[in-house]
Chain A
Amino acid sequence: MTSDNPHPPDNPRPWDEGTPVPLYVITGGEGSSAKTFDLVTLIATRSAPEPSMQPEQAAILSMCEYPLSVAEVSAYLSLPFSVVTVLLSQLVDDERVEAIAPVPVAAFPDRGLLEAVIHGLRRL
């Protein structure tokens, strides 16, 4: 409808109620890799927390001893997703956590992936 939409990839159409901006944009884009986190990117700790660390970052290292998704980290810390991605960007840059990207899903998901999910769901 308009050619000057500020969010072309995800939002081809303008909204009636204004354009919302996620917090990482508002905070000035601290942590350039923040945008690469998906809700289901899994976070796994690589080094133990240190006393000098920010409490939130120490908490992330403690809770991700076994992997957790970014969504879970956000939920357990009661922090917005975008704030968590900024914290995680720093931890990834410092090689304190590993970020495991989600299974890539093409326009038509891989048959083997779908069959695995079907098999798993049937056991529920």
Chain B
Amino acid sequence: MDYGDSDTLRAGPRDTDLLLPHGARGVKVVVVGGFGVGKTTMVGAVSEIPPLTTEERMTQAGVGIDHNPGASGKNTTTVAMDFGRISINEELILYLFGTPGQERFWFLWNGIFQGALGAVVLVDTRRIEVCFEVITRLEDRRVPFVVAVNTFPEAPQYPLPELRTALALSDSVPLVTCDARDRASCRDALLSLMVYLCSLAAQETA
């Protein structure tokens, strides 16, 4: 990584990027799924800016861990996360983060799910097993989520009820299909999450 040895760092949005109004606040939704499932494609399909990448480095802390007594150096790994944004109105900016499914990444970036509205679990029917753990972890953390099946042309198509059974999803969790390349389709997946959150909020106040 280049740490910017120039003293004229000119980084920032492109001239064509929409500028955010003063007084706006951010809110986030997380798109979570396995490698290559289409998280970045989905983020890019609905984002008003080209998807950006934030990264974090982590190391093995070695607290109570001693698998590797011979190795003295710390292992450092860089984890990248793509994201985009949608200006909802003058006051509200929705950010979408595409996050790896492995829980060990989730607390980098100050706990990606902390303060998130909810999550979209993106599923590739060729690698459905990747989602089992993701779904369990989200349930454990009480993060509300919907499941969106990315309809890759080459992926086998299953009826949604069959997928619901295969994923051991409760009937209340929305399960939708989605073409991660298509803006309207991704928007609809996000809408299904919002409508679901509304229903949860209504249950809570009932």
Kindly identify, within residues 42 to 84 of chain B, every residue whose CB is under 8 Å from any CB belonging to chain A: 46, 52-65, 67, 77-78, 83
Query: Cα distance A74–B97 when bound, in Å?
Result: 14
B2 CB–A CB distance under 8 Å: yes
Q: Report the minimal beta-carbon distance from A62 to chain B, rounded to whole angstroms.
A: 7
0 or 1 for each of B100-122: is its CB under 8 Å from A? (1 = yes): 00011111111110111100000
Kindly identify, within residues 169 to 206 of chain B, every residue whose CB is under 8 Å from any CB belonging to chain A: 183-184, 187, 190-191, 194-195, 197-198, 200-202, 204
Q: Is the CB of B62 within 8 A of A40?
A: no
A69 CB–B CB distance under 8 Å: yes
A20 CB–B CB distance under 8 Å: yes
**What B residues does A26 contact at CB under 8 A?**
59
Q: Report the minimal beta-carbon distance from A110 to chain B, rounded to whole angstroms.
A: 8
**What B residues does A12 contact at CB under 8 A?**
140
**What A residues does B22 contact at CB under 8 A?**
44, 66-67
Q: Is the CB of A21 within 8 A of B104?
A: no
Q: Is the CB of B59 within 8 A of A20?
A: yes
**What A residues does B8 contact at CB under 8 A?**
55
**What B residues does A40 contact at CB under 8 A?**
26-28, 93, 95, 115
Q: Is the CB of B25 within 8 A of A111?
A: no
**What B residues does A42 contact at CB under 8 A?**
20, 24-26, 93
Query: Cα distance A80–B105 when bound, in Å?
Result: 14
B18: nearest chain-A partner, CB-CB: A66
B130 CB–A CB distance under 8 Å: no
Whether A101 touches B13, Cβ cut-off 8 Å, given contacts A6-B61, A18-B60, A71-B95, is no
Query: Cα distance A110–B204 when bound, in Å?
Result: 11
Q: Report the minimal beta-carbon distance from A122 to chain B, rounded to whole angstroms.
A: 7
Whether A18 touches B62, Cβ cut-off 8 Å, given contacts A38-B110, A79-B3, A121-B191, is yes
Whether A81 touches B28, Cβ cut-off 8 Å, given contacts A55-B6, A71-B97, A124-B183, is no
Q: Is the CB of B27 within 8 A of A55?
A: no
Whether A116 touches B89, Cβ cut-off 8 Å, given contacts A38-B110, A55-B8, A109-B197, is yes
**What B residues does A79 contact at CB under 8 A?**
1, 3-4
Can you show 16 pairs from A to B with CB atoms below 8 A apart?
Answer: A10-B111, A19-B104, A21-B58, A39-B110, A42-B24, A55-B7, A71-B109, A80-B55, A80-B57, A80-B78, A100-B24, A111-B198, A111-B202, A117-B27, A120-B86, A120-B94
Report, nearest first, the 4 A-B pairs whose CB atoms are least far apart.
Answer: A40-B26, A120-B88, A63-B12, A20-B58
- B interface with A by C-beta (< 8 Å): 1-4, 6-13, 19-22, 24-28, 46, 52-65, 67, 77-78, 83, 85-89, 92-95, 97, 103-112, 114-117, 140, 142, 183-184, 187, 190-191, 194-195, 197-198, 200-202, 204
